[in-house]
Amino acid sequence: MNNHSFPGKGELCQNPECVKWRKINKRNFEKYAQIAEKLFEAYLEQENPYHFFELTKHARKRTVERAINTFQLFGEVVANGYVVGYQPKGKVMIIKGFMKIGKGLYRSLHVPLKIEETDEGLLVRVLTVFDPSYSSHLFDEKLEQRICWCQPHDLDEL
């Protein structure tokens, strides 16, 4: 097997760039997860967090393309979501949550967002939204951590 061939299930891509990025991502998550979780909790615990929930133009486009309504995105996905990643460059945290699509059927979504302090409260700005199962080979088995960068992904645009 050459180093750049596609990994099988349960194997990790050995492309040196992917090995490097996995290390960086893991280190960043270990270092910043608690800070990100605290900030995310503080956002949700404030009065009327939905009032402080905004989508960038790009995110708005994605929600339309991906048939996700903003109210559901907040109420189902973000309000019950949890932090699965943090990129210190740009202070972007990635929230994973689930959206109900039918009886007993849920779609997992990743919501990269930024939390900004304003005079009125903590403001969430959603940068994009994607379903990691559409590119599951780029993520670990829990669809939480990215493990491969060999193909482009929405995350690269953040």
Instruction: State the residues that interact with Zn ion by CB under 5 A.
Output: 13, 15, 18, 148, 150
Nearer to Zn ion, 13 or 124 (CB): 13
Pairing of strands 92-102, 105-117: antiparallel
Whether 22 contacts 30, CB under 8 Å: no
Nearer to Zn ion, 16 or 82 (CB): 16
Whether 92 contacts 28, CB under 8 Å: no
Whether 96 contacts 81, CB under 8 Å: yes
Q: Min. distance of Cβ 89 from Zn ion in angstroms?
A: 20
Q: Min. distance of Cβ 150 from Zn ion in angstroms?
A: 3
Nearer to Zn ion, 21 or 98 (CB): 21
Q: Min. distance of Cβ 13 from Zn ion in angstroms?
A: 3
Cα–Cα distance for residue pair 118/52, rounded to 1 Å = 10
